Amino acid sequence: MRTIKRLDKYVSIDLIFSLFFNEKDAVILESSLKNKLGRYSIIGRQAYMKVVKKDNLMINDELCEEDFMSFMGNYLKLNSESNTTELPIVNGAIGYISYDFDRVQSLALPKCVFIFYDQFIIEDHEEKEIYLIANGKLKDSAVSIKELQGKIDTIQINPLTYNDKSDITIKYNFTREEYKKAVSSMIQYIIEGDIYIANMTQRLDIISERSPYEVYSRLRKNNPAPFSAYMNYKDFQIVCASPERFLKMKNQVITTRPIKGTRKRGATEEEDKLLLQELVNSGKDRSELLMIVDLERNDLNRVCIPGSVKVNELFTIESYATVHHLVSDISGVLQPGLTAVDLLEATFPGGSITGAPKIRAMEIIDELERGKRGIYTGCIGYISLNGDCDFNIVIRTAIHQNGSYSLGVGGGITFESDLDFEHEETLQKAKAIIEALS
């Protein structure tokens, strides 16, 4: 039996997570930028079921003959339950799907991890309220909540202190000229009519003395984002400050918010305004976003009620600590009888980080990029047992393993792309995380 308790005294969710970040499989989906996109933050702890796909699908470390999508789809249908609260999730799973999820090649890390948690801690940023949820899967839920509240009551509000500077070394998997050459090859495919647009990325491998949670804490403070995440898995950690929503579904209504078009923030207010205006007026960036909107509409139409797919915002500006972005908002209504898993199968990976047409763009990406993307440009989020879900696009994200961090950065390439500008844009996108690691 589930127990839900609202805390009498407000304590911010980042302080609460500072108690649990080191626990095995503890995760937070955090709206560290508290705007209209980020009303809730969610902590998951105390796993009762782990669904992990590497070469094979494992459920609680036991081999499962089903594939991931069919297992999750069946589990959601068999264990469906309503959520009578306003909270985004009371029972369900938090996890990720890597970009290379459907590929045959083995990756160093699991292709996907979804963990069903007994406990959730949720902050409603709008109302400044904290909710504790225990589902009674591992122990009596009332006892579980009492123990959890006891831990939270011990919190001392002492801000974490870190060294001012950390030495880092960065290794790029492309030189500047090699990256420009790959972009040039991509443009040639566009000229020849293979694709209209594709996303070209490079990877940075970074050695830093800072711990993953330290990097996350610095990032959330200096570069807050609506779709941040910290995930503490057995032998790797994910540090994410994504500004981009891939998919949200609530009561069968789906929204997706692709980003295409980036400018760095100016050093002065005047320069910042000029750069923002340059983005607003950029024909290249607007056409880039328009192509991705068209692709996302087509993807949604595969699983949505005919006539329900609409473009709500076409060219909206969103500003962050280091960059401005051009964003669109598209919505639709899922067909009856389908689930969040059907939605993922129809739309993954997101069009903004592949290109159009999607399949051919991904083939060209495989040819021109060096190595697999892994978790980068996949998605992180939750699936609730009532059918709702919310996922980001995994960008502005560092993966930590064995003392090293890997970071993917990229941008959309069109016929109008300038080679030097495209390379510079990737460096701007890496800036916030490099600063957090430094």
Query: At how many degrees (to 10) do helices 212-222 and 419-437 cross?
Result: 110
| The one catalytic residue among 244, 296, 369, 422 | 244
Strand partners, 227: 242
Per the annotation, the verdict on 313 as an active-site residue is: no
Strand partners, 408: 203
CB 300 within 8 A of CB 333: no
**Three-state DSSP string of 384-412:** ECCCCEEEECCCCEEEEECCEEEEEEEEE
Neighbour count for residue 228 (Cβ, 10 Å): 27
- Distance (Å, rounded) from C-alpha 210 to C-alpha 125? 29
Residue 11 to residues 21, 121, 260, Cα–Cα distance (Å): 16, 11, 36
- Distance (Å, rounded) from C-alpha 124 to C-alpha 104? 41
Per the annotation, the verdict on 260 as an active-site residue is: yes
| Peptide bond connecting 243 to the previous residue in cis, omega within 30 degrees of 0 | no
Which amino acid is residue 405, in one-letter code? Answer: Y
Q: What is the DSSP string of 128-183?
A: TEEEEEE-SSSS-HHHHHHHHHHHHHT---------S---EEEEESS-HHHHHHHH
Identify which of 389, 395, 319 has the alpha carbon closest to the alpha carbon of residue 352.
395
For residue 355, the SS3 value is strand
Output phi, psi for 84, to 5 deg. Answer: -85, 0
Two structure tokens written together for 183: 């972009």
| Peptide bond connecting 306 to the previous residue in cis, omega within 30 degrees of 0 | no
Two structure tokens written together for 107: 């990756």
| The one catalytic residue among 248, 260, 358, 429 | 260
Which amino acid is residue 424, in one-letter code? Answer: E
CB 238 within 8 A of CB 219: no
Neighbour count for residue 266 (Cβ, 10 Å): 14
Residue 390 to residues 34, 63, 98, 284, Cα–Cα distance (Å): 16, 28, 16, 30
- Distance (Å, rounded) from C-alpha 222 to C-alpha 127? 24
Two structure tokens written together for 17: 């997570």
The catalytic residue positions are 244, 260
